[in-house]
Structure 1
Amino acid sequence: MPEFHMIPGGPRPVAPFSHAVEADGWVMLTGQMPTDPNAPDAPLPQGIEAQTARVMDNLELVLKGVGLDLSHVVQCRCYLTAFERDYAAFNETYASYFPADRRPARTTIGVTALAVGALVEIDCLARRPGA
């Protein structure tokens, strides 16, 4: 049976979802927004680099809440509202979170809008060791 995880102290959901759902050792993380878990009503960080860093930090927070970290991530889907403008800067910040020889599979998609007016959203799939 799937396990539905809500992480204490995790980012406040912007829609009806669980932070993560786990089944058979696979952990699917809901797309994270660049909101601050400690100040969810604060304005979003300015610029794609700051928003990407906040999203990645939020993913790390959710992963930690289920006993994992970014080294367990096998795939990411990334959504950008200003793809052509932000793609290169997004890649620089995103890449800084993974060793060059351990980057997950990834798809990056340009979209017309994201919740809370975000420039970026990322969801991911992780795998428990030994599962």
Structure 2
Amino acid sequence: FQISLPSLKERVQDIPVLAKHFVAVFADKTNKAALEITDDYLAALKQYTWPGNIRELKNIIERSVILEEAGKLTTDTLPFEITHTQETGNLSSFDLALVEKQHIKKVLNYTKGNKTETARLLNIGLTTLYRKLEE
């Protein structure tokens, strides 16, 4: 007797239900109030191919719940490979400058736009930060 279950990428319609379940579980586990899931967050989850299936989804959502700070899950809490697969097509075609710029933007977001603090955290000079942002 064998049960055949399609992969998560073949069951995209299940992702919102699974995401809500995992968010509730991990919000409770981390003693956080009910968290809102933004539309952009769900859209990013739906477009990803999920090579790790449900275990990967569960781990990604746990990470997001831990990283969130404003009571809602946004794409800022997702790993780079999930939020940028549509830009690059696949992980092997990443452009180093693109990865670097996205990391700088995440740190800028973390410091609430403070460029001096961002440069300090990235261990680069302020002029280097400005140059990399302009590229």
What range describes the TM-score normalised by the shorter chain of this pair? under 0.3
Q: Which has the bigger relative contact order, CA under 8 A and spacing at least 6?
A: 1
If the length of structure 2 is used for normalisation, what is the TM-score?
A: 0.27
**Bigger radius of gyration, 1 or 2?**
2
- TM-score when scaled to structure 1? 0.28
Bigger share in helix: 2
